[in-house]
């Protein structure tokens, strides 16, 4: 019996709505963490040290208390999209402007950074 059929049986027998019987998608913060730790996407650990990392990097600032440092989510988004817009001498990649990450990925990264 395939998964869809199994779920249909559960719905019929138990009265469980189909939406509840399916696995919940991972949170955006979890998705953001995966991007941050992925060397092919965010690769943030190449420059930043943060909790949960086994890499000690010192090119960029330590990533902790990010929400306190960037209480305005839009400013953090703009910084990640194009750091040079607020810090012209920044060596941080322009993740959005250079199409390294899309808008949803940057939003997920922010959700993760706000947990630090």
Residue 38 is part of which domain span?
Answer: 25-113
Q: How many folded domains does the chain comprise?
A: 1
Residue 49 is assigned to a structural domain of this protein: yes
Residue 80 is part of a domain; what is its CATH number? 1.10.760.10
Instruction: List the Cα angle 53/85/31 in 5-degree steps.
Output: 35
The CB-side HSE value for 90 (13 A sphere, CA atoms) comes to: 17
Residue 62 is assigned to a structural domain of this protein: yes
Sequential pLDDT tens for the chain (116 residues):
555 554 454 444 444 444 444 444 569 999 999 999 998 988 898 899 887 777 778 788 888 899 999 999 999 999 999 999 999 999 999 999 999 999 999 999 999 999 98
- pTM (2 decimals)? 0.74
Residue 4 is assigned to a structural domain of this protein: no
Residue 16 is assigned to a structural domain of this protein: no
End-to-end Cα, the chain, rounded Å = 43
Residue 105 is assigned to a structural domain of this protein: yes
């Amino acid at each position: 019996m395939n998964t869809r059929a199994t779920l249909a049986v559960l719905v019929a027998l138990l009265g469980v709505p189909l939406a509840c019987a399916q696995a919940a998608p991972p949170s955006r913060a979890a998705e953001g963490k995966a991007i941050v730790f992925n060397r092919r996407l965010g690769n943030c650990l190449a420059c930043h040290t943060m909790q949960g990392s086994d890499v000690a990097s010192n090119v960029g600032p330590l990533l902790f208390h990010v929400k306190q440092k960037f209480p305005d989510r839009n400013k953090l988004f703009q910084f990640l999209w194009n750091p040079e817009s607020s810090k012209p001498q920044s060596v941080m990649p322009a993740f959005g402007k250079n199409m390294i990450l899309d808008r949803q990925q940057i939003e997920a990264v922010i959700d993760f950074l706000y947990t630090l």
